[in-house]
Amino acid sequence: AMLVNNSEQSNSRHTVDQNVLDRLLHQLENAAQSGTLVEESYQQIFQAHHLLGDRFKPSAALLEQSRDAWSKQLARSSSSSRSSLEKEVAACLDRLGVAYDVEVLTENGMHRVDMLVRGSTDDDDGGGGGGG
């Protein structure tokens, strides 16, 4: 709530006050230098940078630490057990004979997809059908 500038709200859209972001980033930089940030904080810094881009730009050192924390979290999530929903979906895809990959890292390395069904590349119908 502190990050939202109430005077800049329009059509249910919120704008993040740049001054608040700058002050927050300054405090995070100090906390990182003093060694008081926990692993989750570094992950959240990386997420904020990914979301806000140049509006939330940590120092090179803090960004590298944050990227490392994010990568470690991705590696841990890949080794965790699958949920019952994932198991049910996998069983349905198996029964249908649909090929899929599990725990696929996106091309940019930012996210991990639980299950990925790859579309056929030789289909020229554009998907969705129902043309006019």
**pLDDT digits 0-9 by tens, 82-129:** 788 888 999 999 999 999 988 887 887 777 788 889 876 555 444 444
* Inter-residue contact 28 to 58 (CB < 8 Å): yes
pLDDT-derived band of residue 12, with 50, 70 and 90 as boundaries?
low
User: In the structure encoding, which two tokens stand for residue 122, read together?
Assistant: 């030789």
Residue 119's CB is within 10 A of a number of other CB atoms, namely 7
Question: To which residue do tokens 């004979």 refer?
Answer: 97
Q: Is 54's pLDDT higher than 80?
A: yes
pTM of the model: 0.59
* Inter-residue contact 69 to 47 (CB < 8 Å): no
